């Protein structure tokens, strides 16, 4: 019985848990509840994956109203893939979250933080599972609003301004998406994504459809921080509480890239998006800009979280690049990188979170020589760092291998050089952190270990698991690579 | 189609541009929120005006009429209005906290303070 | 013992050694014993594989598939066998030397030194035994990463700067050039396995092949072809055992080994000489040889002179391989072996001089032959091997290379070899002369004052081997015959 209700359970579970969390009013119970919910949610997504592998697609009509009148949840392999990623990241982040949150957020607000977290999770899971365009907009907004709230809870007062800026940007973006949905509705009379795609193939190409397309791309571009619409990201990641940065870095932007992929391939269809509109050139420009700009700026920062934020912008550029190559291999490379980067970035952010928690500072300059006092954290940082650079036997290498292969296959030598140059830049900014931590001698201004705080053992556990995952997916790639190539195949050849 | 028959679209576009301009150009944070509201209102108007069927009545089932305007846009916009209100509420709450922390809600002064 | 187990053992033994070294770090004698025992065990394991290879049986070990087309796969063929034998043997000798050197000079963090040394050797074995470009690339990168802590061992500002140059050049070249070249090869041919006869089927355009070859050669920064050679002189800031490792045992050898292996098993000399004009590689190597020799001539710092000598000797190997005839390739491979022993002797001697007298410049070496006769005798033998004078093994490899050059009438190569031999003599012979025949000019000269026994033992053994190889080159030659498939 559960199996048939799985699609909706996946979304309703965190949604129902949120008010429960608000009622609970207790900071430790709130964390426990959130962790429990995310674990169950992970089980659900695993069960959904198994189902999808057998049945190919699952549709679930909300309230029994059949599409196209009712809202429909649509699960295919891409959906299951994304669900696993989001839930997996959530569990890993929440595992070590308790002490970190207690030190970062005022204790009378902690239960509210977890409530917002659950709502964010609801929103993200809803975005992934829904098959209705307007429902998509609603869930996007649920996720975004709760993330604005979470970001504003940071210690630094700049987090408020960062949250506000993100709010403005994000709302404009979501409104653009709403306009696009509206225009599509005018043209076709339906809101169901599968139905929309069918209707669109039957209608002629009018300026309305093109306008809807453009609005959607810009709206999703703002949300997914695609260069040059990324301006909200650095501040939002830097000033928000560390756990929030970790979670957002691993989920939000990936989910919105998923929406982009879904929109381009499932809704508008391959031929229209790329050949009629030929906007893949624009995507290529944007991707190259993101990769070079993000990597370059990451080199010059002093704040650890800021480096990782700019690095994320560059990595999102990689994902967009794979899509922009308009080949099946390119799409597959993007999908592989979505998974790999989620775990790499969360691994790096977890290590940075541990450092900030233990040393009360974010600045590299003040962290000279601390590798001696925290060898464990840094060893794991190095593993995730190597994966970001793309060292062989880590998951990052697999992503780069496929991206370069896809670029070669599409005869775009320029992208090979861009990917390779940005890898060298990644070596520089990760190397800077490692060099300062290991080699520079501790001086007076160096931060010292805050001995009042308890060691965050569960966080260490998450770090170990993620480092293991980063290496595992570099060696045993059948899980993500095979899945990604199947998905790419289906999406392009539908 | 002449200008007059598509005047609803003109209203939408004008409001949208006004709202957008306010968001970008105005310094005061509260006014930016107002700009967002105007922007979103224009979108609502677009949706609802599209749902109107010529000679159709309000979409409430009764025995006298057979032609109704489409109810779907109304439903969608109700949802969107709720979303808009939540956004406004959250934005204003953040502004209050900004005011407590920075002492001002003028964008340029806050940026100066951050530097 | 099963040869697959032997391959696995060869790769894992140094790692096991790391465990023992770190466990025994409190008792330095036990720790040093761990290193020595593990290195002896490694020699045993590696040399057990030798009979199979000499009989033409090439054991292989397929570990796993990472993704389509990429797998971790080992296969021992003659070139790899030769390299592994050299590396494992020299690890043992170098360990003996290190014990004497590190203790006498009272270096800190010696445990870290021995640990990363062992890991570097493990990476080297991995490079030697790799069966495809992906495995080679993995262990090549591991070698860079594990030698970085060794280069920056002293932790001074100068060491950190050198470490940055080292890491920067090697990682940049391997990621920007080597990796794309590998992927491009896979893209063109669908495989990256080392195959006798090469993987190209002759359908590619000649320009593509030449460009790919150049990208490979520059991408393998460890081969120190100019202008990516800059890391080598910078790395001289490391302790002498590390310099010896870099120059003789592992790093540069891994570089030229990779170049030779790629030319033989990916491109194949037949393909290159039939269809393409690879003289460009010849010119690049030749230029490097000359410029490096001239810089060596003008360097007063002994280690710097040896560093540039290495750069020019490495390009000998590349030059010889670029001649593409069997006998010159034989010379190239023999030179890998010969230069390893010769250069390690020279570095050991330089370190010995530094340990006992703290002298680092050539101009300070007057009369030192009287106080350190064993060291300087070994230095003399090593120098003769570099120049190529019998009865040192250097003569053999140079003879083969020269024959190859004459064979295809490459007057460019011949003149390069002749001129550089003269230059070699010009910067090595004076050292020997002033060491033995000049007066040290120090009052109250104490006479005989040699370095501690481990150092002297190590330096003299490698010098002796250099001579022994001249008289008994049969086993290396047999491996080389199998490699090039011809009779020499």
Residue A120 covered by a domain:
no
- Reply yes or no on whether the pLDDT at C423 is more than 80: yes
Subunits with 3+ Cβ pairs within 8 Å of A are B, C
pLDDT band at B2 (very low <50, low <70, confident <90, very high): low
Q: How many domains in chain B?
A: 1
Percent of chain A with pLDDT over 70: 96
List the single residue in B47, B79, B110 with the smallest CB-CB distance to A182. Answer: B47
Does the beta-carbon distance from B23 to A168 stay under 8 Å? Answer: yes
The confidence score (pLDDT) of residue C269 equals 81
pLDDT band at A54 (very low <50, low <70, confident <90, very high): confident
Residues in chain C, overall count: 488
Residue B80 covered by a domain:
yes
Does the beta-carbon distance from C172 to A435 stay under 8 Å? Answer: no
| A75: β partners | A58
Asked if C333 contacts C480 with a C-beta cutoff of 8 angstroms, the reply is: yes
The confidence score (pLDDT) of residue A287 equals 92
Subunits with 3+ Cβ pairs within 8 Å of B are A
The confidence score (pLDDT) of residue A291 equals 93
Residue B15 covered by a domain:
yes
Does the beta-carbon distance from A404 to C66 stay under 8 Å? Answer: no
If one compares A34 and C58, the residue with the highest pLDDT of the two is A34
Residue A23 covered by a domain:
no
Residue with tokens 């709450």: B93
Terminal CA-to-CA distance of chain A, rounded, Å? 31
Does the beta-carbon distance from A427 to C134 stay under 8 Å? Answer: no
If one compares A171 and A362, the residue with the highest pLDDT of the two is A171
Residue B1 covered by a domain:
no
Average pLDDT in the B66-77 region? Answer: 86
Residues of A in contact with B41 (CB under 8 A): none
pLDDT band at A413 (very low <50, low <70, confident <90, very high): confident
Residue A494 covered by a domain:
yes
Residue of C nearest to A421 (CA): C176
Helix (H) or strand (E) holding C308: helix C302-322
Cα separation, A229 vs A218, in Å, equals: 8
Residues of A in contact with B76 (CB under 8 A): 134
Does the beta-carbon distance from A481 to C64 stay under 8 Å? Answer: no
Residue B97 covered by a domain:
yes
pLDDT band at A1 (very low <50, low <70, confident <90, very high): low
Per-residue model confidence as pLDDT tens digits over C234-284: 888 888 888 887 777 788 989 999 999 998 888 888 777 776 667 888 888
- Reply yes or no on whether the pLDDT at A40 is more than 90: yes
Of A74-88, C18-32, C340-354, the one with minimum mean pLDDT is C18-32
What does the block give as tokens for A53? 């592998």
Terminal CA-to-CA distance of chain B, rounded, Å? 53
Query: Which of A379, A386, A401, A419 to mutate to test binding with chain C, by most C CBs within 10 Å of its CB?
Result: A401
Give, as one character, the DSSP assignment of residue C60: E
Residue of A nearest to C138 (CA): A392
* Domain enclosing residue C407, as ranges: 278-488
Give, as one character, the DSSP assignment of residue A45: H
Does the beta-carbon distance from A145 to B76 stay under 8 Å? Answer: no
Cα separation, C210 vs C429, in Å, equals: 39
The confidence score (pLDDT) of residue C283 equals 87
Terminal CA-to-CA distance of chain C, rounded, Å? 32
Residue B61 covered by a domain:
no
- Reply yes or no on whether the pLDDT at C140 is more than 90: yes
Cα separation, A402 vs A334, in Å, equals: 9
* CATH number for position B21: 1.10.287.3510
The confidence score (pLDDT) of residue A140 equals 95
Does the beta-carbon distance from C138 to A393 stay under 8 Å? Answer: yes
Establish if A186 touches chain B: CB-CB under 8 angstroms: yes
Mean pLDDT (chain A, rounded): 87
Percent of chain C with pLDDT over 90: 6
The confidence score (pLDDT) of residue A109 equals 84
Per-residue model confidence as pLDDT tens digits over A393-410: 888 999 999 999 899 888
The confidence score (pLDDT) of residue A445 equals 62
pLDDT band at C162 (very low <50, low <70, confident <90, very high): confident
From A159's Cα to the closest Cα of chain B, the distance in A is 9
Per-residue model confidence as pLDDT tens digits over A60-91: 888 777 777 788 888 888 999 999 999 999 99
Establish if A157 touches chain B: CB-CB under 8 angstroms: yes
Does the beta-carbon distance from A408 to C184 stay under 8 Å? Answer: yes
List the single residue in C155, C171, C179 with the smallest CB-CB distance to A439. Answer: C155
Establish if A65 touches chain B: CB-CB under 8 angstroms: no
Mean pLDDT (chain C, rounded): 84
What does the block give as tokens for C382? 């090593």
The confidence score (pLDDT) of residue A17 equals 92
From A416's Cα to the closest Cα of chain C, the distance in A is 7
Per-residue model confidence as pLDDT tens digits over A221-250: 999 998 889 999 998 999 999 899 999 999
- Reply yes or no on whether the pLDDT at A180 is more than 60: yes
Residues of C in contact with A475 (CB under 8 A): 64, 66
Residue A380 covered by a domain:
yes
Does the beta-carbon distance from C66 to A420 stay under 8 Å? Answer: no
Residue C410 covered by a domain:
yes
Per-residue model confidence as pLDDT tens digits over A251-286: 999 999 999 998 888 887 776 766 666 678 888 889
Of A174-178, A302-306, C68-72, C149-153, the one with minimum mean pLDDT is C68-72
Residue A352 covered by a domain:
yes
The confidence score (pLDDT) of residue A369 equals 77
Does the beta-carbon distance from A420 to C171 stay under 8 Å? Answer: no
Cα separation, B35 vs A381, in Å, equals: 44
Q: How many domains in chain C?
A: 1
Per-residue model confidence as pLDDT tens digits over C427-446: 888 888 888 887 766 655 56
Residue A33's Cα: distance from chain center in Å? 23
Residue A376 covered by a domain:
yes
Average pLDDT in the C18-26 region? Answer: 82
The confidence score (pLDDT) of residue A257 equals 93
Establish if A219 touches chain C: CB-CB under 8 angstroms: no
Q: How many domains in chain A?
A: 1
The confidence score (pLDDT) of residue B57 equals 83
This prediction has a pTM of 0.86
Residue with tokens 């839930």: A87
The confidence score (pLDDT) of residue C246 equals 73
Residues of B in contact with A164 (CB under 8 A): 29, 91, 94-95, 98
Percent of chain A with pLDDT over 90: 39
Query: Which of C22, C63, C66, C158 to mutate to test binding with chain A, by most A CBs within 10 Å of its CB?
Result: C66
The confidence score (pLDDT) of residue C445 equals 59
From A487's Cα to the closest Cα of chain C, the distance in A is 17
If one compares A48 and A367, the residue with the highest pLDDT of the two is A48
Cα separation, A126 vs A62, in Å, equals: 13
Residue with tokens 């800031």: C237
Average pLDDT in the C463-479 region? Answer: 82
Chains C and A touch (3+ CB pairs under 8 A): yes
- Reply yes or no on whether the pLDDT at A444 is more than 70: no
Q: Which residues, 6+ apart, have CB-to-CB distance to B7 below 8 Å?
A: none
Of A291-300, C132-141, C255-264, C388-397, the one with minimum mean pLDDT is C388-397
The confidence score (pLDDT) of residue A274 equals 67
Cα separation, C419 vs C291, in Å, equals: 11
Residue of A nearest to B32 (CA): A168
Residue B34 covered by a domain:
yes
From C78's Cα to the closest Cα of chain A, the distance in A is 26
Cα separation, C421 vs A25, in Å, equals: 84
The confidence score (pLDDT) of residue C54 equals 80
The confidence score (pLDDT) of residue B93 equals 94
- Reply yes or no on whether the pLDDT at B1 is more than 60: no
Average pLDDT in the A468-479 region? Answer: 85
How many CB pairs below 8 Å do chains A and C form together?
60
Chains C and B touch (3+ CB pairs under 8 A): no
Per-residue model confidence as pLDDT tens digits over C90-108: 888 888 888 888 888 777 7
What phi, psi does A21 have (nearest 5°)? -65, -40
* Domain enclosing residue A297, as ranges: 278-494
Residue A162 covered by a domain:
no
Return the closest-CA partner of residue C302 out of C213, C431, C193. Answer: C431
Subunits with 3+ Cβ pairs within 8 Å of C are A
The confidence score (pLDDT) of residue A277 equals 61
- Reply yes or no on whether the pLDDT at C450 is more than 80: no
* Domain enclosing residue B21, as ranges: 7-53+68-114
| A132: β partners | A192
The confidence score (pLDDT) of residue A350 equals 92
Asked if C393 contacts C399 with a C-beta cutoff of 8 angstroms, the reply is: no
The confidence score (pLDDT) of residue A290 equals 93
Contacts of residues B46-54 at CB distance under 8 Å and 24 or more positions apart, as own/partner, are B46/A179, B46/A182, B46/B8, B46/B9, B46/B12, B47/A182, B47/A185, B47/B73, B47/B76, B47/B77, B47/B80, B48/B73, B48/B74, B48/B77, B49/B8, B49/B9, B49/B12, B50/A182, B50/A185, B50/A186
Residue of A nearest to B35 (CA): A168
Residue of B nearest to A186 (CA): B50
Examine residue C227 and say whether the peptide bond preceding it is cis (omega within 30 degrees of 0).
yes
DSSP track, A307-350:
HHHHHHHHHHHHHHHHHHT-SHHHHHHHHHHHHHHHHHHHHHHH
Asked if C440 contacts C43 with a C-beta cutoff of 8 angstroms, the reply is: no
Does the beta-carbon distance from A477 to C66 stay under 8 Å? Answer: yes
Does the beta-carbon distance from B101 to A141 stay under 8 Å? Answer: no
């Amino acid at each position: 019985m559960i199996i048939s209700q799985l699609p909706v359970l996946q979304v309703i579970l965190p949604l129902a848990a949120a008010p429960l969390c608000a009622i609970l009013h207790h900071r430790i119970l709130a964390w426990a509840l959130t962790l429990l919910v995310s674990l169950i949610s992970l089980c659900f997504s695993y069960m959904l994956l198994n189902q999808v592998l057998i049945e190919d697609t699952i549709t679930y009509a909300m309230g029994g109203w059949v599409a196209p009148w009712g809202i429909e949840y649509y699960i295919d392999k891409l959906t299951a893939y994304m669900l696993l990623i989001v839930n997996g990241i959530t569990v890993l982040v929440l595992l070590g979250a308790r002490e970190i949150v207690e030190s970062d957020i005022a204790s009378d607000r902690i239960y509210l933080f977890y409530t917002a977290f659950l709502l964010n999770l609801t929103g993200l899971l809803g975005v992934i599972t829904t098959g209705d365009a307007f429902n998509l907009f609603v869930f996007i907004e649920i996720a975004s609003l709760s993330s604005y709230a979470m970001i504003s809870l940071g210690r630094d007062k700049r987090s408020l301004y960062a949250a506000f800026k993100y709010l403005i940007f994000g709302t404009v973006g979501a409104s653009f998406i709403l306009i696009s949905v509206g225009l599509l509705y005018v043209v076709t009379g339906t809101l169901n994504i599968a139905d929309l795609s069918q209707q669109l193939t039957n209608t002629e190409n009018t300026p309305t459809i093109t306008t809807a397309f453009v609005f959607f791309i810009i709206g999703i571009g703002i949300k997914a921080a695609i260069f040059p619409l990324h301006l909200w990201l650095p501040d939002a990641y830097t000033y928000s509480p560390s756990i929030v940065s970790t979670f957002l870095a691993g989920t939000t932007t990936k989910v919105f890239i998923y929406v982009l992929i879904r929109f381009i391939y499932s809704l508008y269809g391959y031929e229209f998006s790329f050949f009629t509109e030929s906007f893949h050139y624009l995507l290529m420009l944007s991707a190259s800009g993101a990769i070079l700009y993000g990597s370059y700026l990451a080199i010059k920062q002093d704040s650890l979280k800021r480096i990782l934020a700019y690095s994320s912008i560059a990595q999102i550029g990689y994902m967009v690049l794979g899509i922009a190559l308009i080949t099946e291999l390119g799409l597959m490379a993007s999908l592989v990188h979505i998974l790999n980067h989620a775990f790499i970035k969360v691994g790096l952010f977890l290590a940075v979170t541990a450092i900030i928690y233990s040393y009360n500072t974010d600045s590299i300059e003040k962290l000279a020589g601390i590798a001696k006092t925290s060898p464990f954290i840094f060893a794991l940082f190095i593993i995730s760092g190597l994966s970001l650079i793309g060292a062989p036997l880590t998951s990052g290498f697999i992503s780069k291998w496929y991206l370069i292969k896809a670029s070669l296959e599409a005869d775009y030598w320029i992208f090979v050089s861009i990917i390779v140059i940005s890898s060298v830049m990644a070596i520089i900014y990760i190397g800077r952190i490692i060099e300062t931590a290991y080699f520079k001698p501790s001086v007076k201004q160096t931060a010292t270990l805050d001995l009042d705080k308890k060691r965050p053992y569960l966080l260490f556990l998450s770090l170990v698991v993620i480092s293991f995952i980063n290496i595992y997916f570099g060696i045993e790639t059948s899980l993500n690579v095979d899945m990604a190539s199947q998905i790419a195949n289906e999406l392009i050849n539908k | 189609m002449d200008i007059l028959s598509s005047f609803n679209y003109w209203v939408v576009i004008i409001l949208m541009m006004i709202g957008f301009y306010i968001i970008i150009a105005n310094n005061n944070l509260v006014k930016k929120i107002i700009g967002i509201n105007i922007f979103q209102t224009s979108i609502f108007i677009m949706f609802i005006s599209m749902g109107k069927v010529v000679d159709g009545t309000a979409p409430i089932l009764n025995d006298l009429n057979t032609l109704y305007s489409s109810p779907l846009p109304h439903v969608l916009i109700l949802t969107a209005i709720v979303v808009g209100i939540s956004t406004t509420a959250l934005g204003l709450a953040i502004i209050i906290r900004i005011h407590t922390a920075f002492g001002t809600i003028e964008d340029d002064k806050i940026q100066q303070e951050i530097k | 013992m099963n040869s697959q187990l032997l391959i696995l053992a060869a790769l894992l033994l140094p790692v096991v050694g790391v465990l023992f070294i770190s466990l025994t770090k409190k008792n330095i004698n036990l720790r040093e014993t761990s290193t020595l025992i593990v290195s002896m065990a490694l020699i045993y394991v590696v040399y057990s594989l030798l009979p199979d290879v000499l009989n033409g049986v090439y054991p292989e070990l397929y570990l796993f598939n990472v993704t389509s087309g990429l797998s971790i796969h080992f296969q021992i063929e003659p070139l790899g066998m030769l390299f592994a034998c050299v590396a494992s043997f020299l690890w043992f000798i170098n360990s003996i030397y290190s014990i004497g050197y590190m203790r006498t000079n009272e270096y800190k963090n010696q445990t870290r030194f021995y640990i990363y040394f062992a890991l570097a050797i493990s990476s080297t074995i991995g490079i030697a035994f790799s069966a495809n470009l992906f495995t080679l690339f993995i262990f090549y990168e591991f070698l860079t990463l594990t030698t970085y802590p060794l280069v920056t061992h002293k932790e001074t500002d100068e060491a950190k700067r050198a470490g940055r140059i080292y890491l920067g050049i090697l990682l940049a070249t391997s990621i920007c050039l080597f990796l794309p070249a590998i992927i491009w090869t896979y893209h063109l041919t669908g495989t990256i396995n080392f195959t006798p006869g090469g993987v190209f089927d002759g359908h590619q355009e000649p320009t593509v092949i030449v460009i790919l070859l150049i990208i490979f050669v520059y991408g393998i920064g460890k081969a120190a072809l100019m202008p990516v050679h800059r890391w080598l002189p910078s790395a001289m800031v490391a302790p002498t055992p590390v310099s010896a490792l870099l120059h003789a045992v592992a790093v540069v050898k891994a570089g030229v080994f990779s170049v030779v292996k790629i030319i033989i098993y990916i491109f194949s000399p037949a393909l290159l000489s039939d269809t393409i004009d690879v003289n460009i590689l010849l010119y690049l190597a030749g230029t490097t040889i000359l410029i490096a020799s001239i810089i060596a001539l003008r360097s007063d710092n002994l280690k710097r002179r040896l560093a540039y000598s290495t750069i020019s000797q490495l390009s000998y190997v590349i030059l010889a391989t670029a001649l593409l005839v069997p006998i010159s390739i034989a010379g190239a491979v023999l030179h890998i072996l010969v230069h390893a022993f010769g250069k390690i002797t020279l570095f050991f001697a330089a370190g010995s001089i530094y340990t006992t007298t703290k002298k680092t410049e050539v101009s300070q070496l007057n009369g030192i032959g009287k106080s350190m006769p064993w060291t300087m005798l070994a230095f003399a033998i090593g120098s003769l091997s570099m120049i190529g004078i019998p009865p040192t093994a250097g003569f053999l490899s140079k003879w083969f290379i020269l024959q190859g050059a004459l064979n295809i009438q490459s007057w460019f190569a011949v003149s390069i070899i002749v001129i550089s031999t003269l230059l070699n003599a010009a910067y090595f012979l004076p050292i020997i002369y002033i060491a033995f025949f000049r007066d040290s000019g120090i009052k109250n000269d104490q006479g005989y004052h040699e370095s501690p026994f481990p150092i002297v033992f190590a330096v003299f053994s490698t010098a002796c081997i250099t001579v022994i190889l001249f008289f008994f080159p049969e086993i290396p030659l047999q491996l080389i015959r199998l490699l090039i498939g011809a009779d020499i």
